[in-house]
Amino acid sequence: MPQGRPFRVLGIQQVAIGHEDKAELRRFWVELLGVELVGSFRSERENVDEDIARLGHGPYAVELDLMQPIDAGRSPKVHQPALNHLGLWVDDLEAAVAWLGAAGVRFTPGGIRRGAAGHNVAFIHPRGDEAHPESARGVLVELVQAPPEVIAALGGEG
């Protein structure tokens, strides 16, 4: 394992929940619980049509992604499992990807790219393979580059 981890995980950026029909998710989370709906995102490449909700405010807000597949028969199947993935703020995404990759962590195809909320992201594959055996053991993890205000709010000193 490489020495001297060059990045920090600062907190939860998002929780992504999938279902065949995001309207049912929206009814529960937005209409019944009152979570604020703030946007939407659609990507044919990622096979996702999602509503973006927010819990909390400012740099302490956590995004709640309510996702349905564009085509339920195609991968990725964003509705299986229902708790699709966990997003984590990191203070240096490029350093995190390089260091974790050197430590044997398997990433999904696509590398670092712009995510639904406009931040750069990279996904850790839920399962390792022979070349990259490290993973979160069944959980898809999204690493999200924290903007300066989140780093200041959640990063603390050193």
Angle in degrees, CA 150, 105, 74, rounded to 5: 85
Strand bridging mode 48-55 / 120-124: unpaired
Give the per-residue pLDDT at 3.
83
Q: What b/e sequence results for 130-142 when a residue is b if at least 16 CB atoms lie within 10 Å of its CB, and e otherwise?
A: eebebbeeeebbb
Is the pLDDT assigned to residue 82 strictly greater than 80?
Answer: yes
Domains and CATH numbers, the chain: 9-155 (3.10.180.10)
The average pLDDT across 62-68 equals 96
Give the pLDDT of residue 155.
83
Residue 120 corresponds to which tokens in the numbers above? 């750069």
pLDDT value for 88: 97
Which residue's structure tokens are 């639904």?
A: 116
Cis peptide before 81 (omega within 30 of 0): yes
**How far is Cα 47 from Cα 49, in angstroms, rounded to an integer?**
7
pLDDT digits (tens, 9 = 90+) for 91-140: 999 999 999 999 999 999 999 999 999 999 999 999 999 999 999 989 99
pLDDT exceeds 60 at position 158: no
Q: Residue 156 pLDDT > 90, yes or no?
A: no
Chain mean pLDDT for the chain: 94
Neighbours of 31 (CB within 10 A): 11
pTM for the model stands at: 0.88
